[in-house]
Structure 1
Amino acid sequence: MAIELKPIRTEADYDEALAELGRLWGARSGTPDGDRLDVLATLIEAYEARIHPIDPPDPIEAILFRMEQRGLTRKDLEPLIGTRARVAEVLNRKRGLSIEMIRRLNEELGISADVLIRPSREDRAA
């Protein structure tokens, strides 16, 4: 039995919507069940975003993640951040990122400037 499509306001609504999503999973796009699946997924996504928002990553964690993805070393960051000592200070959270560092990291590593301008986790705790 299909549930009534309505805004998800409670955990009970959410659980019901997830069960219906499971029932509809794999429905073909453009069919009534496929359309229902799309609408239900949108409602679930909106509820999850409101109830369980995800914070953007910490800027240093984002840099370290991108370094790992690309197999980069600290030495590879020197053209983007500065001297070996400056790279160490930034990655050890002793020095913040300058606007120029943010621009270069954004351009060369593709890390969002929105992430890079955020204070690091240690900065926020202080």
Structure 2
Amino acid sequence: MMKSVTHKEYIAANIRLEALLKEVGNDAPEDDPRIIELLEVSDIIEHYEEMHFSIGLPTLKEMIELRMFEMGLKRKDLATLLNTSASRVSEYLNGKREITLNVAKALHQKLNIDSDIILQ
């Protein structure tokens, strides 16, 4: 477990990360001290951001709506894709009905929605 990171340490880590990225190329060996430092600095930044800027998982409704937008789908198109009715899709999106196992599988396979989001 990493100790708490201060804002000052976070800023210093970001500055050092930028400098290291300019020095180290993709061809640097993994045991190069700069690569090791780069990983350590990245961990400090990640830890600070998780503590102060944590976003969390999107809701299933948000992910479905995002995929519908990305794929240009209307609710009736989504219903066809999920092998269900448009009214059933509305019930899922409005939280009036729990999704079935088959719908969960279809959301994962056909819309590429992460199972962690489906199961939350």
Q: TM-score, normalised by structure 2?
A: 0.75
**1:36 paired to 2:32:** no
Alignment match, 2:102: 100
Stretch of structure 1 that moved more, 92-101 or 53-62: 92-101
1:52, 1:63 → 2: CA distance? 24
Map 1:67-106 onto structure 2 (within 5 A): 67-79=68-80, 80=82, 82-106=84-108
Note the alpha carbon deviations across 1:22-66, whole angstroms, 9 max, x for none: 333322232654543333123312332244333111000000101
Among residues 4, 16, 19, which one is paired with 1:20 in the alignment?
16
2:105, 2:52 → 1: CA distance? 33
Paired residues, what number?
Answer: 113
Q: Describe the SS at the equivalent of 1:82.
A: coil
Gaps of 5+ in 1: 1-5, 119-126
Q: CA deviation at 1:15?
A: 1.6
Note the alpha carbon deviations across 1:50-98, whole angstroms, 9 max, x for none: 4433311100000010111111221122131621211122223332322
1:15, 1:84 → 2: CA distance? 50
Stretch of structure 1 that moved more, 93-102 or 62-71: 93-102
Does the 8 A contact of 2:108 with 2:115 survive in 1? Answer: yes
1:65, 1:92 → 2: CA distance? 15
Q: Identity over aligned residues, as a percent? A: 31
Q: TM-score, normalised by structure 1?
A: 0.72
